[in-house]
Amino acid sequence: MERLPGFRDFYPEPLPHPDVWSADARQYIFAKWRATARTYGFREYDGPPLEPLELFTTKSGEEIVGQLYNFADKGERSVSLRPEMTPTLARMVAAHERNYKKPIKWFAVPQLYRYERQQKGRLREHFQFNADLIGESDPAADAELIALLIDSLRAFGLTAEDFVVRLSSRNAWHEFYHRGRQDSSEADAVHEYQFFQVIDKLERALPEESAKKLAALGFKLDDVNAFIAGGKPTAQLQFILDNLAARGLGGFVKIDYHVIRGLAYYTGVVFEAFDRKGEFRAIAGGGRYDNLVKLISGGKVNLPALGFGMGDVVLLELLKARGLLPAFDANVDVFCLIEEESLRPATLQLVQNLRLSGRAVEFPLTPTKPDKQFKRAQELKASFTAKLDNDSYVRIRNLKTRQEVVAGVRDAANHLT
């Protein structure tokens, strides 16, 4: 039986085949994400992987709706696997926001599902580090979140030479759009979103195609390109740049009006992180979505919000390409040798005590020849072997320095440094 296209098997290293993914690398990435989020005071939350279909159809915009894994469940409810986390977060916050002091700073590491055309950096399932800040409209919140995005990437050893956060603003594009059109009707909001979609695809589409689509909406490609090339920061963007510069993070951001984001709910500042060489798809993307909580709560709760999502797929490709992944070993601290079967009960006691002291311990489950035991200890890259001489004394050997000490059994844990 084959796995479905666009889904992944995660194996412990060393990897048995080029077509599988590393469970160790995944764990490494998650741990860095969580540790960095905590240094910024973000708390972890999670929601259901399956949601009512409606949560996504009205809020996220056409592009994601076309990629939904949706079906009718056995109770004939229309449901969908989550393609993104933001609508779930908005629902959860709206339900219980009174219990939390503002601003709310939350993060999650959900697995998300999108029926996408498979290509480099895009699968049908991925994990995404989401960090969102809710209840603060000041651009200081935007700067704080972007600083977290930058530091989450720096935590892996990536530098300003490896990646850049391209900063833009839907407000700036909104103004550009309304300089071209005076209309502000409901129909015009749809029209404006179509315009945003063309901008979002500008770098990937042929210029003739973009020009044609823009013309149909009443705009000239040359004007659009001139606006992007001008790259003049709005007052809000300038505030964010200054705030990041004060943190010493100025080298990680630049204004780039190519970025507008595909999702429908963004309202203000938007941004995307890319590798500097432009070899990969976006590493992360996010922005302000000041109306989403209100929309999802049916007008009951109104809170400004912003956040970003960083996928594990592109990040892993980038870390591999830059040689920034550590070697993943079994991480066994101690291998307990049992050469004398009569000492097995006492060795089991030792194993138990060492594990209770937090050490990763391995030992032969069944009677095994001494040379095989030693080979296994080496394969597992154990730091120490421990062998009982008798019920009371244990011989501890450091496999790197080859130094050996004899210690009392109860004292064994103190000799493992």
Q: By CB under 6 A, name the binding residues for ligand HAM.
A: 84-86, 114, 116, 122-123, 126, 128, 130, 132, 263, 282-286, 307-311, 313-314
Burial label for 308, CB within 10 Å (0-12, 13-18, 19+), is: buried
Q: φ and ψ at 186, to 5 degrees?
A: -55, -45
Instruction: State in Å, rounded, how far the first CA of the chain is from the last one.
Output: 46
Enumerate residues 6+ apart whose C-beta is below 8 A from 143. Answer: 239, 240, 243, 244, 247
Nearer to ligand HAM, 51 or 84 (CB): 84
Tokens 């993914």, located at residue:
21
Min CB(21)–ligand HAM separation in Å: 12
Nearer to ligand HAM, 162 or 333 (CB): 162
Min CB(177)–ligand HAM separation in Å: 21
Q: Other CB atoms closer than 10 Å to residue 35's CB: what's the count? A: 11
Nearer to ligand HAM, 61 or 233 (CB): 61
DSSP class of 117: P
Min CB(114)–ligand HAM separation in Å: 5
CA dist., res. 61 & res. 408, Å (int): 67
Min CB(286)–ligand HAM separation in Å: 4
Min CB(207)–ligand HAM separation in Å: 24
Min CB(60)–ligand HAM separation in Å: 8
Query: Which DSSP string do the residues of 63-104 spell out, in sequence order?
Result: HHHTT--EEE-TT--EEEE-S-SHHHHHHHHHHHGGGSPSSE
Nearer to ligand HAM, 119 or 185 (CB): 119
CA dist., res. 59 & res. 66, Å (int): 13
Tokens 């595909």, located at residue:
262
